[in-house]
């Protein structure tokens, strides 16, 4: 397939649309791609960086590169094959809740293009456990490692939250490579209150009784650093296989002009804050847990910084919106250049090099 730069032509009209409508078009395009396997294969040849130096084993599976798609892009697992064609090393679907949920009223997603950032208050809009489980079962065997991110329904009271997570873990454990318990979205009232020692301990003890698949905990960037580290350690001590840091932030001071309506900021404005939280967690847990860094990553240099700080995997979302489908290839090519510059022959020599 000729490497015509399509994105510069596609982005302007897409960006004239409401962000959620644009996302809908992106998802329909990915579904169209995956419906034509030779097209998906051709795109994959174009976007997947084929380099043994980027490969490694994680969650008991071969990852072709350390760049994953963050949760929330493909909440219902409708486009996993299309996303594989964009060259990702793995994909995290969800957040999935037990019951289907419409999410918050629109508009609930906003662009801040000058800052390459987004603000969202989606509120876990998703098709629900039964439908997503059926879809994942049909996907089997998935073309790349798949994680499932799970969360409680909005109208589930706090005392029933544990049961929501247990039902989700039970349903998805056999259909994915890893699970993420999301207790850090700012858009479900009370959800972040679950980021406490008592809840995390009982959740992880229960989860490890249900499955031996890796269960990770996704944390917010808005915790005090010491608190983030303490909670991450509590989770790992209670059986979490790892930590995903971070979710979006509601620190609106990071973006003058942000809407003060409760939605979370992502993208470039989140980069340093997310790095600081990840770095603090990694200092404590590197070597003891799988560490996933997400938040404001949009270049190979930033991905490299996270890997050196101890990330086993980096994830992207907002940069994909701004930079388009060649983002993953670009990050991986830059990673290879940086590794060559530093004389690193494999990711194993990069990950945690700064620890
Ligand atoms: C529109 C949107 C929806 C999101 N939905 C979810 C979600 O359902 N579950 C989740 O754990 N994170 C969700 N996230 C957070 C991302 O997974 C990621 O943690 C965050 O955006 C920071 O990464 P980024 O700066 O690369 O976007 C969402 C982010 C955006 C922008």
Q: Where are the beta strands (DSSP E) in 188-324?
A: 215-219, 242-245, 264-267, 290-294, 313-316
**Could you tell me if the CB of 126 is within 6 A of ligand 1?**
no
| pLDDT higher than 60, residue 290 | yes
Of ligand 1's listed atoms, the one at least distance from the Cα of 244 is 19
Q: What is the pLDDT of residue 260?
A: 85
Task: Give the distance from CA 182 to its chain's centroid.
Answer: 11
State pLDDT tens for residues 37-74: 999 999 999 999 999 999 999 999 999 999 999 999 99
CA atoms of 55 and 165, how far apart (whole Å): 32
Of ligand 1's listed atoms, the one at least distance from the Cα of 184 is 11
State pLDDT tens for residues 137-165: 999 889 999 999 999 999 999 999 999 99
CA of 341 to the centre of ligand 1 (A): 32
Q: Ligand 1 pocket check: which of 70, 74, 153, 215 to mutate, most ligand atoms within 8 Å of Cβ?
A: 70
| pLDDT higher than 80, residue 4 | no
Q: Is 185 one of the catalytic residues?
A: yes
Q: Which residue has the tokens 């990770």?
A: 216
The pLDDT of 271-279, averaged and rounded, is 98
Please give the model's pTM, rounded to 2 decimal places: 0.98
**Could you tell me if the CB of 123 is within 6 A of ligand 1?**
no
Conformational region of residue 287, where left means phi above 0, alpha means psi within -120 to 50, and beta covers everything else: left
**Could you tell me if the CB of 268 is within 6 A of ligand 1?**
no
Q: Which residue has the tokens 């998802």?
A: 27
The pLDDT of 109-116, averaged and rounded, is 97
Mean pLDDT (the chain, rounded): 96
**Could you tell me if the CB of 181 is within 6 A of ligand 1?**
no
pLDDT band of 124, cuts 50, 70, 90: very high
Q: What is the pLDDT of residue 313?
A: 98
The pLDDT of 219-226, averaged and rounded, is 96
Q: Ligand 1 pocket check: which of 20, 71, 83, 180 to mutate, most ligand atoms within 8 Å of Cβ?
A: 71
Please name the residue whose Cα sits nearest to atom 19 of ligand 1: 247
Q: Which of 92, 69, 211, 234 is nearest to 151 (CA)?
A: 92
| pLDDT higher than 70, residue 136 | yes
| pLDDT higher than 70, residue 2 | no
pLDDT band of 3, cuts 50, 70, 90: low
The pLDDT of 17-37, averaged and rounded, is 97
State pLDDT tens for residues 169-202: 999 999 999 999 999 998 898 989 888 999 999 9
| pLDDT higher than 70, residue 1 | no
DSSP of 291-332: EEEESS--SHHHHHHHHHTT-SEEEESHHHHHH-TTHHHHHH
Give the burial class of 334: count Cβ atoms within 10 A of its Cβ; 0-12 exposed, 13-18 middle, 19 or more buried.
middle
Determine what percent of the chain is predicted with pLDDT higher than 70. Answer: 99
Sign of CA dihedral 225, 295, 166, 187: positive
CA of 340 to the centre of ligand 1 (A): 31
The pLDDT of 199-217, averaged and rounded, is 96
Active-site residue, from 184, 185, 274, 293 = 185
The pLDDT of 16-27, averaged and rounded, is 97
């Amino acid at each position: 397939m000729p490497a015509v730069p399509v994105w510069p032509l596609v982005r302007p009209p897409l960006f004239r649309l409401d962000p959620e409508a644009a996302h809908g078009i992106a998802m329909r395009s990915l579904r169209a791609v995956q419906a034509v396997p030779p097209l998906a294969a051709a795109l994959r040849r174009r976007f997947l960086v084929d380099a043994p130096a980027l490969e490694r084993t994680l969650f008991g599976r071969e990852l072709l590169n350390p760049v994953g798609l963050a949760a929330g892009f493909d909440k219902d697992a409708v486009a996993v094959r299309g996303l594989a064609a964009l060259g990702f090393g793995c994909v995290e679907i969800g957040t999935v809740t037990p019951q289907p949920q419409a999410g918050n009223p629109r508009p609930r997603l906003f662009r801040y293009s000058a800052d390459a950032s987004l603000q969202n208050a989606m509120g876990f809009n998703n098709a629900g456990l039964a439908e997503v489980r059926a879809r994942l079962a049909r996907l089997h065997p998935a073309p790349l490692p798949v994680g499932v991110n799970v969360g409680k329904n909005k109208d589930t009271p706090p005392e029933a939250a544990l049961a929501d997570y247990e039902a989700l873990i039970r349903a998805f454990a056999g259909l994915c490579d890893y699970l993420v318990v999301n207790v850090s979205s700012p858009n479900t009232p009370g959800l972040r209150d679950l980021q406490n020692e008592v809840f995390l301990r009982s959740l992880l003890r229960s989860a490890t009784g249900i499955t031996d698949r890796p269960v990770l905990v996704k944390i917010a960037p808005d915790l005090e650093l010491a608190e983030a580290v303490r909670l991450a350690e509590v989770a790992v001590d209670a059986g979490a296989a790892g930590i995903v840091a971070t979710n979006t932030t509601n620190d609106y001071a990071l973006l003058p002009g942000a809407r003060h309506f409760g939605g979370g900021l992502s993208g470039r404005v989140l980069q340093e804050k997310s790095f600081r939280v990840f770095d603090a967690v990694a200092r404590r847990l590197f070597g003891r847990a799988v560490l996933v860094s997400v938040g404001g990553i949009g270049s190979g240099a930033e991905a490299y910084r996270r890997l050196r700080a101890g990330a086993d995997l980096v994830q992207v979302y907002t940069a994909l919106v701004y930079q388009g489908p060649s983002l993953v290839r670009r990050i991986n090519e830059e990673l290879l250049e940086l590794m060559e510059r530093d004389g690193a022959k494999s990711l194993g020599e990069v990950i945690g090099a700064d620890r």
